[in-house]
Amino acid sequence: MEEKKVKLSPPWYKYYHKLEALFSRDPDISLEMIDDYDHDLEIKMYVTNNRKAQALINLLPKEEYFGNNVSIKVTVIPGNKELESDAELVKAAFAGNPAVSFIETVDGLNPRTYVVFENKVVQYYNDVLRDYYGVTSTLYQDIAEEVLGPLGGISFCTDITKDNK
């Protein structure tokens, strides 16, 4: 007898899937679920038609609540302008920076820009009690994520060298 693996998702995924079911076939709308441990739960809706975006801003709740202090924000971004401007700003900010291996944008339903940093451990002074010398060792990717925070359609990555493949 074959064993079936049952996968249970938290209720905010069900809410995301409901929105996806309603809007995924609409060519003017794309959805993105942001669910990681460092940031709040959020559903971003990128809407190219500004009139439709304004309607969704007025119709959809800004935040949906699930049980014990769990909530998910719903953000409607009109005209995809914020997504494009974030990518353009990131490209301009890191142009010519030797710490960056390359920046690549992948087009599609949810366009994504990848900022790929060189594979190098970075050390900087950090006055914390857990380290007597006050030195932190990390990757450029981690620093960019901490300093710039979550940006729509932007991923920070570390390059894989030939030795690491």
In whole angstroms, give the CA distance from residue 21 to residue 31.
11
Whole-model pTM over 0.85: no
The three-state secondary structure class of 80 is: coil
Q: Is the pLDDT of residue 21 over 90?
A: no
pLDDT per position as a tens digit, 138-147: 788 888 887 6
pLDDT level of residue 80 (50, 70, 90 thresholds) = very low
Q: Which residue has the tokens 């914390």?
A: 128
Domain boundaries, the chain: 11-78, 81-164
Query: Tell me, what's the pLDDT at 67?
Result: 78
List, in order, residues 6 or more apart from 118 with CB less than 8 Å away. Answer: 98, 99, 100, 101, 140, 158, 159
Reply yes or no on whether the pLDDT at 31 is more than 70.
Answer: yes
Name the most confidently modeled range: 72-76, 92-96, 136-140. 72-76
Q: What is the mean pLDDT of residues 141-163?
A: 80
DSSP H helices in the chain: 11-23, 50-59, 81-94, 140-148
Confidence band (pLDDT; 50, 70, 90) for 114?
A: very high
Binned at pLDDT 50, 70 and 90, residue 129 comes out as low
Could you give the percent of the chain with pLDDT greater than 90? 5
- Residue corresponding to tokens 């949906």: 64
